[in-house]
Structure 1
Amino acid sequence: MSKLQAFIDTTNDRDRKMPITLNNPLIPGLLAVAIFTGCQADRGTEATALTDKVQSTPAEAPVTLDAEAETHRLTEWLDARYEEQLQFSPMQLSYLGRKELYDQIDDMSEAAEARRLAWMEKTVADLKKHFHYDKLTQEGKNSYDIWHFQFEQARAAEPFKRHGYIFEQMGGSQSQLPNFLLNFHKVDTIEDMQAYIARIGGISRAINQLLERAELAAKAGIRPPRFAFEGAIEQSSKLIDGAPFKNGDDAPLWAGAKGKIAALLEAGKINQKQADKLTADARRALETQFLPAYKTLISWLKEDMQKASAQPQGASSLPDGPAFYNQRLANTTTTKLTADEIHNIGLKEVARIRGEMETIKEQVGFKGSLQEFFTFIREDKQFYYPNTDMGRQSYLNDSKAFLNDISTRLPEYFGLLPKAELVVKRVESFREQDGGAQHYYPGTPDGTRPGVYYAHLSDMSAYSTTDMETVAYHEGNPGHHMQISIAQELEGIPLFRTQAHFTVYSEGWALYSEKLAKEMGAYEDPYNLFGHLTAEMWRAIRLVVDTGMHAKGWSEEQAVEYFLENSAIPETAVRSEVRRYLVWPGQATAYKIGMLKIQELRRQAEEQLGDKFDIRGFHDTVLGGGALPIPVLESRVARWVKSVQGA
């Protein structure tokens, strides 16, 4: 019996009561997408325990004595099912760099979600019928378990399909849909541009479908805090501000369309007559489809906002809120930790990190309390770039320099290295937020689109220079870019696993990477080392604040006050963070829980292997199977330890 299956058995009854949501870059409950807005939004695909024993094999299932052959057969079957799954999501195909269904946007309706769930249920029934679990290799068993795992996620999510906030200030659909078209719809031919124009209409249809879902949620008493409405209204308004809708600078999608058409013309792939027609068609789609959809959305948001609480409340205030929040914790951490347990882990971590911060304070010779040192770091101008275009460019340039330097040291700590390119960019103006979380978007598996580390730079006073080094390692290498790129480049496992995403794993790895960077020789400046501790403290505070607001009745101001008392993070960023936790219940707890688990697994391996412990082997083991829920990761590392012991 695998460790995952043991976890299944012990959590069976509990998890039937706590549904979860699959994640999509747009709204919970849709087809899983491995876009990591990580720190964004990161709303990664989240995990819960399976509710059935998956190792049982029906009598009619064919038995293959050769485990490798049976596993190969399973891999081929899973690849075929994954291809079917992709056909539900034209957008996911585009994220992967493919151009099938290139003129379409996903069906965002509840009916479409139900059809996907029914399809997933049938695949699991077929999986159990046609494959002999005990005759698979261990890697094959992992693939079997994870496929079944993801179905259980979707099935358990169904009762809570209206609990996820669709339109909000962080990763709301109103900004993510246009962002998809601008950044992930590549135009190489006239047909690609025609598909871009068709997708403008598709976005308009999707916004109308999502609005219907938001209206149903509101009728059930589920609506986000008022600030989320305000953010969604602001972002939506920016998308229809300017040409071709009114006088002024070009609106984002209009600028995108004109730029793509101009590039085709310059490359000689279209003539002027074709360019004129494409331009006219794009204008027509924006004016007759996109504009009405967004005007209707903004109107409804303004009206419904009046019914939203001006004093934000946690998830427990929603209908079935406590059960919903418990499930969010279960699926984001893939553990059985309760809100109280997570809260207490956070308190202990905050106390530990404060001690390390005191050491740095003394090292730099600061005379005063730690709280006064926080104020000094938060307010002294030496720790901030100018709030100018030159200051913003300096932030990007210095982030690139940190990443270039750490990349030269990677071979000493990793055998597996990413092939994909990494770039650092500023967030697009229509979705940029003061103090918004820096985040990462993966590249394509074939490397034609690089991974991108995005930085919000509209207010440079929100980002201390002391923090930027550790953020670069988290979002880039050896963090998200490295982990996700390696996963996408893996061979010998089913394709769906190269795109799988479990928040506790991906965010746990990225946070582990921040500390690993110190081991690799980073943070030569003691203030940057303090910034690293600030970032770790940030994630420890999340355990306290997230559970505080969603399970213990804390107010937004209580959360902000606790944050400021225990970190040097600028208040603008603190308030943005607290509001992020309010609209994404439980997500922020995954970072520290995942990091602590990876650190625990490493300590255990070091103790068990002694002189045989190899850091490259450990890291390759953690990264070499793609993103995994905690029980599977534990089993994978345990097997590696045994193999080294027996060598």
Structure 2
Amino acid sequence: MKNTICILLASLMLLGCNQSGKESATAAEQKLSSVLDNYYEERLVLFPLEATAIADNRYNDQLPNDISEAHRAKVRRMYQKYLDQLGQIDTAALNEQEKLSYAIFKLDMKTALEGLKFNDHLLPVNQFWSLPLSMGQLGSGASIQPFKTVKDYDNFLGRINGFQVWADTAIANMRRGMASGMVLPKPLTQKILPQFAALIVTDPQKSIFYDPIRNMPKDFPAAEQDRLTEAYSLAIMEKLVPAYKKMHDFLQTEYLPKSRTTTGIAAVPQGKEYYNLLVRFWTTTNKTPEEIFQIGQQEVKRIRAEMENIKTQVGFKGDLKAFFEYVKTDHKFMPYQTDEDVLNGYQAIHKRMEPQLKKLFGQVPKSKFEVRQTEEFREASASAEYTPPAPDGSRPGIFYVPILDPKKYNSSRMESLFLHEAIPGHHYQNSLQFENEALPKFRRFGWYGAYGEGWALYTESLGKELGLYTDPYQYFGRLGGEMHRAVRLVVDTGMHAKGWSREQAIQYSLENEALSEDAIIAEIERYMAIPGQALSYKTGELKIRELRQTAEKSLGSAFNISSFHDEILKDGGMPLAVLETKLNNWLKKQHKSTN
């Protein structure tokens, strides 16, 4: 009777069991697969911009009010539902890949639920990441929002309607934040004002949102071209401009006077607890802010010693601070005349390293890749960054380069920056993950800061193996990039956990980095806007370096760098503890295969 019941239940895919009553491997796999698939489908409905980012165009007209209490409640119910369903799966019956998915997903759900205990929706805008800036990118036609068909154009009009509602909720939320002390630091509010002002126009044709009309496909019927031109002109002047103006005026007249004079997130209600969560989220470790602060100071000391060596090698006769100033300001490091010259400089780096890539990587992405200049409206406060490709090949991976003045563009960090943001950094990691159709979608399209940024920073150390850093100043630029990430460990935890002021953090950076004061201020204010994110780079890189050193020591002459890199990348992003377990299992297999 017991076996008969098991067979009947299994046939209904309600439960799998063997003679001892345990779940069968097939049933456990099916149950886990169902949970993960259902979760991702439900997630895309609630977060349709994520669907657009992966070229799933079903929801391209939708922009939910994701900072509303109703939306947050829906999201909370979704996370709890799938965490509960996960608890009903017999993990002993899962294979190695499924156990990876289970571990990653469980941590995701728990962290997401914990995050919803905090009122970050009362801080809906900042100068670095927020929907008003994303809307400008989407509406320009140069980002992830497609503008190829008439339906595409109508879809974005739907998103414009959604943005009006979002903007009103953002103002209401910020007023609640003003009443409770959950407000931005004053310097950040001041940085947002010119960004919003740049999107307020009196002529629709001068708006970035008019670019899709300017670039409309010529094969659209004339009647549709006329209709869309009129619809976009009206949407810009009657919906978008009023929304940005309303937010701008509110920020200037009401919010700025109430913005806080403190620097760190610990100053807001539940700020200390919130920062502790953000540290765990961004580093995917249980390290405390104090531990990270100490690691950062140790790394700064180590890198400074390497920088001193380069200074001696090139025969510079001043101290390190004077050498920083020399590299920052000497015209030999500013060889460009035009924006195009800077972009071509990055293309030349790509060509120079390309022949060496196959020695370090067995797997290379199929996705196309481009270098582009950052859009003008956000260029002043933007960092160099990478946008992943569409999985279907309809959009390339894009390395965005902000170029305020090409004649002042410093070339000393270009090689390390290209390695990090482009190839083999973010482009290899993102593209290979997107192209791996065997992964559940939540992993295929997921992101873990410590893994992704850790990998990109680790790839900066591969320059010599890739035929770069032959110029000691470019290697100094690489050390400058590494120092930048080590300084982040100190100043981020310093501001948000140890009471450092914005000015203290700026001063510490100036003492240890070869960046201009304006660049350092922009960076410090970035860390103020998104606490904890800056910790992910060095934390992840140190773990990957540690894993490589362990593998080299353990395998000796049998160690293969290409195989190691492929193993790091082949299963996509994951928390660092899960990655370490995976690499330890790989090491055991390598030993077995060589014995």
TM class by shorter-chain length?
A: over 0.9
Contact 2:200 2:241 in 1 (8 A): yes
Contact 2:303 2:483 in 1 (8 A): yes
Q: Please name the residue that 1:429 is paired with.
A: 376
- 1:458 pairs, out of 404, 419, 427, with 404
By how many angstroms is 1:311 displaced?
4.2
The range that moved more, 270-279 or 508-517, is 270-279
Unaligned runs of 5+ in 1: 1-59
Q: Please name the residue that 2:421 is paired with.
A: 475
Equivalences for residues 282-321 of structure 1 within 5 A: 282-309=232-259, 311-321=261-271
Does 1:139 pair with 2:89? Answer: no
Does 1:123 pair with 2:82? Answer: yes
By how many angstroms is 1:163 displaced?
6.6
Q: Please name the residue that 1:235 is paired with.
A: 195
Contact 2:178 2:255 in 1 (8 A): no
- 2:503 pairs, out of 557, 571, 577, with 557
- 2:132 pairs, out of 162, 174, 179, with 174
When residues 405 and 447 of structure 1 are mapped into structure 2, their CA distance, relative to the original with a 3 A threshold, is: farther
Contact 2:373 2:401 in 1 (8 A): yes
Does 1:110 pair with 2:69? Answer: yes
Contact 2:122 2:174 in 1 (8 A): no
The range that moved more, 82-91 or 510-519, is 82-91
- 2:117 pairs, out of 156, 159, 163, with 159
Contact 1:167 1:228 in 2 (8 A): no
Contact 1:442 1:451 in 2 (8 A): yes
Contact 1:233 1:302 in 2 (8 A): yes
Residues in 2 aligned to 1:461 and 1:547: alpha-carbon distance in whole angstroms: 35
Residues in 2 aligned to 1:549 and 1:460: alpha-carbon distance in whole angstroms: 33
When residues 290 and 519 of structure 1 are mapped into structure 2, their CA distance, relative to the original with a 3 A threshold, is: same
Residues in 2 aligned to 1:163 and 1:197: alpha-carbon distance in whole angstroms: 25
Contact 2:280 2:287 in 1 (8 A): yes
The C-alpha deviation readout for 1:16-42, integer Å capped at 9, x for no partner, is: xxxxxxxxxxxxxxxxxxxxxxxxxxx
Identity of aligned residues (%): 35
Does 1:489 pair with 2:448? Answer: no
Residues in 1 aligned to 2:95 and 2:465: alpha-carbon distance in whole angstroms: 35
2:254 counterpart letter in structure 1: D
What SS does the corresponding residue of 2:400 show, helix, strand or coil? strand
Q: Please name the residue that 2:526 is paired with.
A: 580
Q: Please name the residue that 1:419 is paired with.
A: 366
Q: Please name the residue that 1:358 is paired with.
A: 308
Contact 2:139 2:208 in 1 (8 A): no
Does 1:75 pair with 2:60? Answer: no
Residues in 1 aligned to 2:500 and 2:85: alpha-carbon distance in whole angstroms: 46
- 1:252 pairs, out of 185, 205, 208, with 208
Q: Please name the residue that 2:7 is paired with.
A: none
Residues in 2 aligned to 1:260 and 1:103: alpha-carbon distance in whole angstroms: 20
- The normalised TM-score by structure 1 is 0.85
- 1:62 pairs, out of 16, 33, 43, with 16
By how many angstroms is 1:220 displaced?
1.7
- 2:292 pairs, out of 333, 336, 342, with 342
Residues in 2 aligned to 1:114 and 1:412: alpha-carbon distance in whole angstroms: 50
The range that moved more, 568-577 or 451-460, is 451-460
Does 1:91 pair with 2:91? Answer: no
The range that moved more, 555-564 or 401-410, is 401-410
By how many angstroms is 1:313 displaced?
1.3
- The normalised TM-score by structure 2 is 0.92
When residues 311 and 112 of structure 1 are mapped into structure 2, their CA distance, relative to the original with a 3 A threshold, is: closer
Residues in 2 aligned to 1:310 and 1:526: alpha-carbon distance in whole angstroms: 44
Q: Please name the residue that 2:4 is paired with.
A: none
Q: Please name the residue that 2:5 is paired with.
A: none
Q: Please name the residue that 2:180 is paired with.
A: 220
When residues 350 and 443 of structure 1 are mapped into structure 2, their CA distance, relative to the original with a 3 A threshold, is: same
The C-alpha deviation readout for 1:328-376, integer Å capped at 9, x for no partner, is: 1121111121122111111111111111111111111111211211111
By how many angstroms is 1:75 displaced?
2.7
By how many angstroms is 1:308 displaced?
4.0
- 2:494 pairs, out of 548, 551, 562, with 548
When residues 159 and 72 of structure 1 are mapped into structure 2, their CA distance, relative to the original with a 3 A threshold, is: closer
The C-alpha deviation readout for 1:134-167, integer Å capped at 9, x for no partner, is: 1001210111122222111221011213377321
The range that moved more, 482-491 or 312-321, is 312-321
Residues in 1 aligned to 2:401 and 2:191: alpha-carbon distance in whole angstroms: 18
What SS does the corresponding residue of 1:401 show, helix, strand or coil? helix
- 1:521 pairs, out of 443, 464, 467, with 467
Residues in 2 aligned to 1:172 and 1:494: alpha-carbon distance in whole angstroms: 28
The C-alpha deviation readout for 1:313-337, integer Å capped at 9, x for no partner, is: 1112111222222221121111121
Aligned Cα RMSD in Å? 2.0
Spell out structure 1 runs of 4+ moving beyond 6 A: none
What SS does the corresponding residue of 1:602 show, helix, strand or coil? helix
Residues in 1 aligned to 2:223 and 2:559: alpha-carbon distance in whole angstroms: 66
| Higher fraction of helix | 2
By how many angstroms is 1:186 displaced?
1.0
Residues in 2 aligned to 1:200 and 1:257: alpha-carbon distance in whole angstroms: 14
- 2:555 pairs, out of 591, 609, 612, with 609
The range that moved more, 530-539 or 601-610, is 601-610
Q: Please name the residue that 1:508 is paired with.
A: 454
When residues 646 and 98 of structure 1 are mapped into structure 2, their CA distance, relative to the original with a 3 A threshold, is: same
Does 1:621 pair with 2:567? Answer: yes
By how many angstroms is 1:475 displaced?
0.3
The C-alpha deviation readout for 1:161-213, integer Å capped at 9, x for no partner, is: 33773211112222112212332221222122122222222222222223332
The range that moved more, 304-313 or 407-416, is 304-313
Equivalences for residues 2-81 of structure 1 within 5 A: 62-63=16-17, 67=25, 70-71=28-29, 74-81=32-39
By how many angstroms is 1:537 displaced?
0.5
- 2:323 pairs, out of 373, 385, 391, with 373
What SS does the corresponding residue of 1:453 show, helix, strand or coil? strand
By how many angstroms is 1:283 displaced?
1.5
Does 1:402 pair with 2:349? Answer: yes
**More relative contact order, 1 or 2 (CA 8 Å, 6+ apart):** 1
The C-alpha deviation readout for 1:365-389, integer Å capped at 9, x for no partner, is: 1112112111111121211245xxx
Contact 1:333 1:593 in 2 (8 A): yes
By how many angstroms is 1:235 displaced?
1.2
What SS does the corresponding residue of 2:129 show, helix, strand or coil? coil
By how many angstroms is 1:517 displaced?
2.2
Residues in 2 aligned to 1:306 and 1:85: alpha-carbon distance in whole angstroms: 35
Q: Please name the residue that 2:162 is paired with.
A: 202
Residues in 2 aligned to 1:547 and 1:80: alpha-carbon distance in whole angstroms: 38
What SS does the corresponding residue of 2:386 show, helix, strand or coil? strand
Unaligned runs of 5+ in 2: 1-13
Contact 1:440 1:452 in 2 (8 A): yes
Q: Please name the residue that 2:281 is paired with.
A: 331
By how many angstroms is 1:403 displaced?
2.2
Residues in 1 aligned to 2:122 and 2:451: alpha-carbon distance in whole angstroms: 22
By how many angstroms is 1:66 displaced?
6.0
Residues in 1 aligned to 2:465 and 2:349: alpha-carbon distance in whole angstroms: 15
By how many angstroms is 1:462 displaced?
6.9
The range that moved more, 134-143 or 217-226, is 217-226
Contact 1:556 1:578 in 2 (8 A): yes
